[in-house]
Amino acid sequence: MTTANPSSPRRWPTTLLRCALALGGSLALMAQAQAAADTSPAQQLARFAAEAGAPGQAERGRVFFTSRHAGEWSCASCHGNPPTAAGKHASTGKPIDAMAPAANARVLTDSARVDKWFRRNCKDVLQRECSPAEKADVLAYLINLKP
């Protein structure tokens, strides 16, 4: 009969499994850390401009960002006008970090986050998704803002 001997060969599978789990865990953490800054504002602009087949236009982006569309809110209702300082959520009053890269080094550096918030906020403001051209215009506007 084998007793609970830590060096018993029978324990190897468990030990290997633990190692694999630990390694998997740290790889997942690394992937997460990377996802938090997997891109740059300029790369995001290039991505939407490529999808739109045309470069973003800052002035058109400014008008789009500061105007109301289908609903009560414009982008500026929550993000401020100009969005170079912290914004304030139009319904909850919660502070929102500045949207201009010149004023906020972290903004537009996570592509999943950019996609998630464009989807959510465009639905709120336009009652539809923003087109790639609209996204490119907004990013051209934000990237060109001075602090």
Q: Select 46 or 96, whichever has its Cβ closest to ligand HEC.
A: 96
Residues at the interface with ligand HEC (CB under 6 A): 73, 75, 77-79, 89-90, 96-97, 107-108, 113-114, 117-118, 121-122, 124-125, 138
- Minimal distance in Å, beta carbon 27 to ligand HEC? 25
Nearer to ligand HEC, 27 or 115 (CB): 115
**How far is residue 16 from each of residues 8, 9, 27, 44, measured CA to CA in Å?**
13, 11, 16, 41
Nearer to ligand HEC, 18 or 120 (CB): 120
Q: Is the peptide bond before 82 cis (omega within 30 degrees of 0)?
A: yes
Is residue 71 within 8 Å of residue 115, measured between CB atoms? no
Query: What is the token pair recorded at 89?
Result: 């959520």
Helix ranges, the chain (H):
12-35, 41-52, 58-66, 75-79, 111-126, 132-144
Question: Using CB atoms, what's the residue nearest to ligand HEC?
Answer: 75
- Least distance CB 74 / ligand HEC (angstroms): 7
Measured between alpha carbons, how far is 82 from 76 in angstroms, rounded to an integer?
8
CB of 32 to ligand HEC, least distance (A): 16
Least distance from ligand HEC to the Cβ atom of residue 25, Å: 26
By beta-carbon proximity to ligand HEC, the closer residue of 125 and 143 is 125
